[in-house]
Structure 1
Amino acid sequence: MNRRILVSLLALGLAILQGCATYTTPAAGVNMATLGDDDIVELMSLEPAAQFPARLAVVRVQSAGYRSLTADSYGTGSFSVVTTRDVESEDDFKRIAALDDIAAVAPITRLILPQELNTIRDLRLGAARLKADLLLIYTLDTRFNVESTSLGPLSAVTLGFLPNKEAFVSATTSALLVDVRTGFIYGAAESSARESQRTSMWNSEAAIDNARQLAERNSFKQFVGEFETLWKATLAEHVAASEPEPIAPAAPEPTPEPAVKPPLPPTLDPQPGTYTF
């Protein structure tokens, strides 16, 4: 009898320990406005200098100290860089590389970045080392919600004791297209996606993180379509404007009409004879 009680108590203890396990939501994305300079006069004086076809460098930024179950970040300062492509697919980057007037696409790695990351200029230095003309900076901001309650970044979600309510994960991909040489911003693009589930499915770290990855993956895939639109608008404004207008061929000179010769006087009959007037 005592043995049965002991076994029951052990089983109850294991259930409690499993139920008290938690999943910590990842840190937030980066507010792109905080990456630039605050001097409005300086910002307004920036001019585009990229050459087309352009070499494009790509980098993902997140808040300082970002980590998830599938990726860690690099760098200290105002933000960090994620070099692991955990939600971005190879097909996504092939779509970008296939766009008109893109010569090549290259990821920025931690080997060419400074340890301290505070502004866009720190990222432009890395892109310059790759001889890139343009820099695509993007971030993923992911939110976890149960019904109308937002759990927020770095929230601990207790597993096993959530009621059976509607839960969803929303992810937003935001990006800037920047001129590496001057810092001129050509434009911005953004796309969001949402993955809905029942909280009863959130019974493990892997289950919740799978929902995060699915939302982020769909968000980035939709973002590629938004970037295609931004890229076409960039080419229409900056490439067409920089190309010289074709020189119209000179009109051919009119062919001079032949001069009209005066009529010849009547020829006198060479035969001898008498002429009467």
Structure 2
Amino acid sequence: MKTKILIFIALVTILNSCATKYVTPGSDVKISALADEDISKILENKPSAEFPVNIAVARIQAPNYSNYLYSKRQGNPNGRFTMILTREPNEEEVIGNLAKLKGIKQISPFNRLLLPYNYQTIKDLRLAAAKMKAQMLLIYTFDTEFSIDAKNYGPQNVFALGYLKNKELKVRTTSSAALFDVQTEYLYGLAEATAEKSKKSNIWKENQEVDNLRIESEKESFSKLSKEIATMWNGVYSEYSKSK
């Protein structure tokens, strides 16, 4: 009798896995596409910030972005990007560590009260950053891709947990950042980092198991990105600081 009960529980678990579906997160934003000036004008822009500087930080994603844990749309539904105002604990920690770099007075994430409703370009973010008395604007975004064996799943794709049985699931995240002058939109520098996590299991019981891989991949990628940002910043400070 006990054996039959165990078999029944196992069958129910497998059937639930097959029925449960996971939706991959939304995509990143090509930051270069958000410039509101033509290339020739951008190349003419000059840096204006004086050190030490205040830096406003914004995470942006594709329009109507969502993931397993984050489904709230913020900002203009017809906008060119989604502003993510809810941050993971490691993002706050990384931003706090960046604030300790030489030449930085303060790094502050965006306050939702200062954001324009209809933001479309970097200029809109620069205006919000100016209200925060920031001289520089740091923008970052995550591009997270899923693959099951040799098959890739892009943004907002769906697959059943039962399909994962005995297959290797890989999650690869590339995080990118750009540092702009608030006043002129001068581009000081770029940074990028990639991380990958993988797992293989006989039975995937819950969506959270799959999403944990996404979280781990994004955390590691952002941690690596912070080191690239620090390296980039040291070059920026060395080149543009009046105290060099």
**What TM-score do the two structures reach when normalised by structure 2?**
0.89
Cα deviation for residue 149 of structure 1 reads 1.3
Cα deviation for residue 150 of structure 1 reads 0.8
CA pair 42-21 structure 1, distance change in 2 beyond 3 A: same
Unaligned stretches of 5+ residues in structure 1: 1-7, 245-277
CA distance in 1, matches of 2:170, 2:12: 30
Q: 1:261: which partner in 2?
A: none
CA distance in 2, matches of 1:202, 1:126: 43
Q: Within 5 A, what are the aligned runs for 1:113-262?
A: 113-198=115-200, 200=202, 202-239=204-241, 242-243=242-243
8 Å Cα contact 1:87-1:213 kept in structure 2: no
CA pair 197-110 structure 1, distance change in 2 beyond 3 A: same
CA distance in 2, matches of 1:135, 1:14: 48
What amino acid does structure 2 have at the position aligned with 1:75?
G
CA distance in 1, matches of 2:45, 2:92: 33
Question: Is 1:42 aligned to residue 41 of structure 2?
Answer: yes
What amino acid does structure 1 have at the position aligned with 2:75?
G
CA distance in 2, matches of 1:83, 1:233: 29
CA pair 234-13 structure 1, distance change in 2 beyond 3 A: closer
8 Å Cα contact 2:14-2:162 kept in structure 1: no
Cα deviation for residue 113 of structure 1 reads 1.1
Cα distance per residue 1:197-231 (max 9 Å; x no partner)? 11545432100110000000000011110000000
Q: 1:110: which partner in 2?
A: 112
Query: What is the number of equivalent residue pairs in this alignment?
Result: 235
What amino acid does structure 2 have at the position aligned with 1:68?
N
Cα distance per residue 1:61-114 (max 9 Å; x no partner)? 000111123333412211010011126343312210100010011110222111
Q: 2:97: which partner in 1?
A: 95
SS, match of residue 176 in structure 1: strand
SS, match of residue 226 in structure 1: helix
SS, match of residue 207 in structure 1: helix
8 Å Cα contact 2:14-2:203 kept in structure 1: no
8 Å Cα contact 1:133-1:180 kept in structure 2: yes
8 Å Cα contact 1:64-1:75 kept in structure 2: no
Question: Is 1:64 aligned to residue 63 of structure 2?
Answer: yes
Cα distance per residue 1:159-192 (max 9 Å; x no partner)? 1232312221011110100001111110100011
What amino acid does structure 2 have at the position aligned with 1:74?
Q
8 Å Cα contact 1:70-1:86 kept in structure 2: no
**What TM-score do the two structures reach when normalised by structure 1?**
0.79
What amino acid does structure 1 have at the position aligned with 2:46?
E
What amino acid does structure 2 have at the position aligned with 1:66?
Y
Superposed CA RMSD in Å reads: 2.3
Cα distance per residue 1:24-82 (max 9 Å; x no partner)? 00110101121113512211111100110000110100001111233334122110100
Cα deviation for residue 145 of structure 1 reads 0.6
8 Å Cα contact 1:80-1:117 kept in structure 2: no
What amino acid does structure 2 have at the position aligned with 1:82?
I
8 Å Cα contact 1:146-1:199 kept in structure 2: no
SS, match of residue 183 in structure 2: coil
CA distance in 1, matches of 2:218, 2:41: 35
8 Å Cα contact 1:29-1:139 kept in structure 2: yes
Question: Is 1:24 aligned to residue 26 of structure 2?
Answer: no
Runs of 4+ that moved beyond 3 A: 11-18, 87-90, 199-203
Question: Is 1:74 aligned to residue 62 of structure 2?
Answer: no
Q: 1:275: which partner in 2?
A: none
Q: 1:271: which partner in 2?
A: none
Cα deviation for residue 148 of structure 1 reads 2.1
CA pair 196-133 structure 1, distance change in 2 beyond 3 A: same
Which structure exhibits the higher relative contact order, with contacts defined as CA atoms closer than 8 Å and separated by 6 or more residues?
A: 2
Unaligned stretches of 5+ residues in structure 2: 1-6
The alignment-based identity, stated in percent, is: 36
